[in-house]
Amino acid sequence: ETGVTQSPTHLIKTRGQQVTLRCSSQSGHNTVSWYQQALGQGPQFIFQYYREEENGRGNFPPRFSGLQFPNYSSELNVNALELDDSALYLCASRGGQGSYNEQFFGPGTRLTVL
């Protein structure tokens, strides 16, 4: 069984650019969540997708957007990058929306904004 994978592993962008991060969920998982982990901090919830629709969002501006595809893989898009967007971006998948369902995390994409 393949776990959660993310690409790319590292990315360097400049301020004002746009970036797309990708996540392949674990087989059979239909719910994907994205988290931002700034250096020295705990992960913060960005948003969640269930069956291709966003059904939960944290305190992030609209320039953070996402998609979920029919195979339940997902993208995180960030427009107009700011220096503070530099962080590790984690994707997690689970098999259903239930709060008790374990979330399985990918290794993350480290984004550096210069």
Q: Is 60 in the site for another protein (CB under 8 A)?
A: no
Query: Quick one: how far is CA 53 from the chain centroid?
Result: 14
Query: Which residue of 31, 68, 74, 93 would you call a contact of another protein, by CB under 8 A?
Result: 31
| Closest of 18, 23, 37 to residue 78, by C-alpha | 18
β-strand pairing of 109-113 with 10-13: parallel
Quick one: tokens of 79?
């427009």
Q: Does the protein bind another protein through residue 36 (CB under 8 A)?
A: no
Q: Of the candidates 45, 60, 75, 95, which one interacts with another protein according to CB under 8 A?
A: 45
Are residues 23 and 34 in contact, defined by beta-carbon separation less than 8 angstroms? yes
Residue selected from 64, 66, 103, 113 as contacting another protein according to rule CB under 8 A: 103
Which residue in the set 1, 53, 84, 99 belongs to the binding site for another protein (CB under 8 A)? 99
Locus of tokens 């369902």: 101
Using the minimum distance from each CB to another protein, give the nearer residue, 86 or 104: 104
* CA distances, 4 to each of 22, 79, 92, 101 (Å): 11, 24, 7, 15
Binding part of the chain for another protein, among 19-27, 53-61, 62-70, 72-80 by CB under 8 A, reads 53-61
Enumerate binding residues for another protein (CB under 8 A): 4, 31, 33, 35, 40-45, 48, 55-56, 58, 90, 92, 94, 97-108
